[in-house]
Structure 1
Amino acid sequence: MDNRVVLVTGGANGIGRGIANYLSKNTIVIAADIDENAGFQLVSENPLIRFKHLDVTNEQQIESLVEEIKYQHGRLDAVINNAAIANPYNAPLQELDLYDWNNALAVNLTAPMLMAKHTLSLLKETNGCIVNIASTRYLQSEPNTEAYSATKGGIVSLTHALATSLGPEVRVNCISPGWIHTSDEELREADHQQHLIGRVGNVDDIASMVGYLLSKEAGFITGQNFVIDGGMTKKMIYSE
């Protein structure tokens, strides 16, 4: 293990959990999540990971966490902005409550901006990286997904804006996952076969790209969005 320190938000569940486990093989990983039970379960299974309770919509909590990282580790090499409201569906537009819309914005879009803001000084010292997790829903939608789709589109735009503002010291990139299976629910063969690659994605498909984007080999890559979806967004589908 080297001495690099990586912060993963939403790191106790789903894709974030997979990223934390993957990166813990050779870096110091701090998984921050609002779900304490899932966080404690994570570190009980993988003691290499440090868990921190965090509400990403609370700027004071973000500031406190960054100060704690600075005090305990003296450095920060990367931030993975993964925390999000995972359910992409909202009420039909005529019934959509403004609270739900604003909450989606706060968690999915404002929080990554705040995290970049408060980790910037540490990341500049290490020529570090930010990787934002968006979604293929930034470019295609189902009905009643306005809040989620809008925030994920915002993440893609935020990524190239940050890359422009923070370079050359800090690189900023984005990953847009498609269908990534994160539960124990059994999938149908039809679920796999609708993908051009012949299977639904898994968390390591995303985590391995995160690992690459943090590496020296990706040193010439910034401001980019990488779609990892088994080819689904390139597949033309008509009803027969």
Structure 2
Amino acid sequence: MSISENTAPPRTALVTGAGRGIGLGVTRALLEAGWQVAALDLEFGAEAESIAAAQQVTCDVSDEGSVAWAFDTLAGFLEGGLGLLVNNAGVADPASGPVETLSLDGWNRWIGTNLTGAFLMVRSAVPYLRDGQGAIVNITSTRAAMSEPETEAYAASKGGLTAFTHALAVSLGPDIRVNAVAPGWIATGDRSALRDQDHAQHPAGRVGRPEDIAEAVLYLAGAGFTTGQVITVDGGMTRKMIYAE
């Protein structure tokens, strides 16, 4: 099967975990770039006022019925196909405690949202993405390749999402491209609380911003010859050797 080199995907995007943090930044950037966006999250607070132009849908991506309901709700939005799916929803706190005391429910909390949620979204979105010859961008993490203590569930979920990315790229190509962005430390709150040493430890000279991830997502949305890849956006930290003094 081949695709037309002159076919442009529709400028419609679906972003999960869009109500705050990285997802909010990605949604805002897409809107500013002229995309029509459907934003999914468990709830939308005051921060979401900045993405009022997006169609906001309450959805628990870890719940099969909730995802099905969201896609039914977005039937009109998806009618012309989908240009971009951004799987960003996730349990942000990586600390799960000692593995020997980690409950199965606790483990499933990270896996269910961070990994199974992406699967459920992809499964429902594929027909619309295929119609639009669109793209998927999964938001994984540098923790898929490096860890702090007591973060097994989070690391496993993001490692799984990284592998899910290249498997999808092979299965869904050439109609649908699938890539991932692996953020490092992205500060989504009050940046004035960051210390000088927090910034200085990064080769890029600062802690990341949601806008940094949004830039990578926008690039991948239009990078027609890029698929199955993970772009690391971490200010260079995964390339820096650190030894205790």
Q: TM-score range by the shorter chain?
A: over 0.9
Aligned-partner residue type, residue 188 of structure 1: R
Q: How does 1:37-48 map to 2 (within 5 A)?
A: 38=45, 41-48=46-53
Structure 1: give runs of 5+ residues left out of the alignment.
none
Partner residue in 2 for 1:31: 39
TM-score scaled by structure 1?
0.94
Determine if the alignment matches structure 1 residue 60 to structure 2 residue 65: yes
The match for 2:88 among 66, 82, 96 is 82
Partner residue in 1 for 2:167: 161
Determine if the alignment matches structure 1 residue 196 to structure 2 residue 192: no
Residues 43 and 49 of structure 1 are in contact (CA less than 8 Å); yes or no, is this contact kept in structure 2?
no
Q: How does 1:147-186 map to 2 (within 5 A)?
A: 147-185=153-191, 186=193
> In structure 2, the residue corresponding to 1:31 is in which secondary structure?
strand
* Separation in 1, partners of 2:167, 2:10: 29
Determine if the alignment matches structure 1 residue 15 to structure 2 residue 22: yes
The match for 1:140 among 136, 143, 146 is 146
CA RMSD between the two structures: 1.4
Give the deviation of 1:42 after TM superposition: 4.1
The match for 1:205 among 200, 212, 223 is 212
Q: Deviation per CA, 1:85-117, whole angstroms, max 9, x where unpaired?
A: 000000211211110001111101011011111
Aligned residues: 234
- The structure 1 segments of at least 4 consecutive aligned residues displaced by more than 4 Å after TM superposition are none
TM-score scaled by structure 2?
0.92
* Separation in 2, partners of 1:48, 1:174: 25
Q: Deviation per CA, 1:63-96, whole angstroms, max 9, x where unpaired?
A: 2222332324413211100000000000211211
The match for 2:119 among 113, 117, 132 is 113
Structure 2: give runs of 5+ residues left out of the alignment.
1-8
The match for 1:99 among 98, 102, 105 is 105
Identity within the alignment, % = 44
* Separation in 2, partners of 1:45, 1:227: 27
* Separation in 1, partners of 2:114, 2:207: 24
Give the deviation of 1:180 after TM superposition: 0.5
Residues 29 and 49 of structure 1 are in contact (CA less than 8 Å); yes or no, is this contact kept in structure 2?
yes
